Structure 1
C-alpha cells in the first residue's frame, strides 16, 4: 500500500470491468476480467465493479470467478431497480468475501414520470437489495440534469431504505466543475440523513471534466470516486483512475490506499484489451 498521510480517506471504486467494458466492441473474457481484478486488488482499489449480471448472464459467472481470486476489495455488481436484476446480482455475489449491490434509478423526471412512482421504486429496490446484502449502493442516474429538490428527496429515500453509499453521477458529462461542486455540496447540506451514508461520484468525460469534477467533488464532501483504468468507458470515457490517484496524492487533506507502483501494469493490460479490438 502507499504511504498514508494525514487526512481523510477517499475510496477508489474501479468500473473498468463494467462501464469500461461497454466501450469495447467485444466483451472481455473471464480470464481477462480475473487478471485485471487481481491487479486491482493488489493495487489497493476499494471496490471493483465487475458487470451487470441481470442483463449479461456471462457477467454472473465472471463475478463468481473473480470472487474466488479477490480477497481484499469489495466485489460489486450493477443492477437497475428491477427486482429480477437485483436478485441476479445477489446470487452472483454469493461467494464474495465482501459484496456490494449497486442499484441505479433514473432521477430526471419527464412528462411520463411521476415523482411518487420514482420514490416508491427507490424505496422498494433498495429495501429488496438490503434483504440480500448489507452493502448497498444507490446511484442517481442523470443526477446533473435532475431537479435538485427531487434529487435530495430521492437521496433521502435511498438512505432511509438502507443504502450506505449514494452515487451522484454526471451520467452524460454535462456539468462544469463549478456546477458539480455545487450539486454535491447542496446534497450534503440539504439531505437530513446524509451522515448515514457516504457520497460517491461517477463522472463521464464528454466535456473533458471527468477528473476535475471528481477531484473537486471530494472538496465538496464526496468520499468515493468511481473511475477506470485509462479512463476507459462509453463515449468519451470515465475519469482516469491514475490521474485521480495522483491528484489526491498531491493533497495533504486526503489520501487513497492505492499503490501507484501497479498503475503501469494495469494500464498496459487495459491497452491490450484495446489492441484486440483493432
Structure 2
C-alpha cells in the first residue's frame, strides 16, 4: 500500500470501538447514516465492526461496504483463521477493504490473557497477517497493549508482521497507560529500529483512562505515526478513545508545528456530527468538552467578555465557524460587566446613554430574579 508521508490518515472507529460503550448500540441503518457523514467529513478509514462477534456486526460491515464509495472499510478480527474468514466474507462488497487483525504484545497479555509465550504469540501474529493477506491487499496489524510491551519484543513483532504483509501497524495504548513522552518515544524507537518500517504506516490507537489519549496521539504523530485511530466525541471503551475533532483542530491551530502534514477533514462538520452521534448513541457530550462541548465557545467572566469583545483572539484560538458554529456566546452572569451587557442590549436594538446604561448595570447586578428574566430574554 503506497502512502503519502505528508498525509495524516484518519481512522474512525466510532462505529466499532465507540459502539462498545454500554447503551450505545446502533441499528444498521443508523450506522449507514453516520458512515455517510463520516465520508463527507473526510475520514480515510471507517472501522465498521467486528464481524465474528455477532450477526448484527457482520451485517453492519456488509451494509457499510455497500453504502460508501471512497473510504476504506475495515473489519476487526482476532489473530485466528475463523475470525479472518468471517471478516473477509463481510467485506466482499467493499470497494477498498481492510482486515484489521492482531494479538497481545505485552508480557501481561501474553501470560495472563493467552497463557502463552512470546515465541508462540509471534507465530500466531505472522500467521494471521499471512491469512488476511490471502484475502485483501490492505492488512492492518494491532499489537494489543503495546503501551506496556517490551520495546525489543515489540520491534521484533512489528518487523515480522510487516515482512508477512502488513501495510499498517497499530501500536495501541490499550489501557491509556502511557505518558506522552513515553508513547512518543515508543513510536520513535520503532521508526529507528524496525528495518522494514518504511513499508508500513504506523498507527496510534490511544485510550483515555488517564485523560491523555489526544496528547499521546499527538506525540505519536510528532514521532512518525501517520495514522490516528479516533472517534467522534472521543467515545469508546471505559473513559473513551482519542477525540477525532481534537486531533484535527490541533493540526489546524498548530499547522506550522506539523510542517506539510495535512488531512482531508472538513472541520465545519464537527458540531453537526458531534450532536448527531450524541443523540443517536444516547451519549451526552460534557459541556466543557474541547471543540464540541456546549461551553467550548461560551464566555461568562466579565474580564474574558471584555477582552473577547475588544478583539476575539484575546480569548479564542479557534473560530466558531471553523467547527460549524455561527458565533461564540456571551453569557450574562453575575460576573458579567458593562461591555457584555452593552453588547447584548445593542444586539436587541437598545442604544443607551452612559448614565442609563449604568442604571441598567446596577439593576442587572443587584436584582437576581430580574437578571434571570433578562438573560432568558436575551
TM-score normalized with structure 1 length: 0.94
SS of the counterpart of 2:51?
Answer: coil
Equivalences for residues 154-193 of structure 1 within 5 A: 154-193=157-196
Return the match for 1:124 from 127, 144, 162.
127
The equivalent of 2:279 in structure 1 is 272
The equivalent of 2:61 in structure 1 is 63
**2:266, 2:24 → 1: CA distance?**
30
Give, in angstroms, the shift of residue 26 of structure 1.
4.9
SS of the counterpart of 1:54?
Answer: helix
Asked if 1:32 is matched to 2:30, the reply is: yes
**2:13, 2:54 → 1: CA distance?**
16
Query: Runs ≥4 in structure 1, deviation > 3 angstroms?
Result: none
Give, in angstroms, the shift of residue 64 of structure 1.
1.3
Unaligned runs of 5+ residues in structure 1 are 1-6
Asked if 1:256 is matched to 2:273, the reply is: no
Equivalences for residues 102-251 of structure 1 within 5 A: 102-109=100-107, 110-111=110-111, 112-250=115-253, 251=255
Q: Is the 8 A contact 1:249 1:256 kept in 2?
A: no
Give, in angstroms, the shift of residue 218 of structure 1.
0.6
SS of the counterpart of 2:166?
Answer: coil
Q: Is the 8 A contact 2:102 2:128 kept in 1?
A: no
SS of the counterpart of 2:126?
Answer: helix
Give, in angstroms, the shift of residue 247 of structure 1.
0.6
**1:241, 1:12 → 2: CA distance?**
8
**1:140, 1:69 → 2: CA distance?**
30
SS of the counterpart of 1:113?
Answer: coil
Give, in angstroms, the shift of residue 275 of structure 1.
2.7
The equivalent of 1:9 in structure 2 is 7
The equivalent of 1:87 in structure 2 is 85
When structure 1 is superposed on structure 2, of 154-163 and 262-271 the one drifting more is: 262-271
1:195-234: CA deviation from partner (whole Å, max 9, x where unpaired): 1101001000011110111011111000000000000101
Q: Is the 8 A contact 1:45 1:257 kept in 2?
A: yes
Q: Quick one: higher RCO (CA 8 Å, sep 6+), 1 or 2?
A: 1
Give, in angstroms, the shift of residue 190 of structure 1.
0.5
Unaligned runs of 5+ residues in structure 2 are 285-378
When structure 1 is superposed on structure 2, of 246-255 and 105-114 the one drifting more is: 105-114
**2:139, 2:282 → 1: CA distance?**
35
TM-score normalized with structure 2 length: 0.70
Q: Is the 8 A contact 2:17 2:236 kept in 1?
A: yes
Q: Is the 8 A contact 2:23 2:281 kept in 1?
A: no
When structure 1 is superposed on structure 2, of 43-52 and 62-71 the one drifting more is: 62-71
Q: Is the 8 A contact 1:68 1:96 kept in 2?
A: yes
Higher strand share: 1
**2:37, 2:22 → 1: CA distance?**
20
**1:165, 1:76 → 2: CA distance?**
12
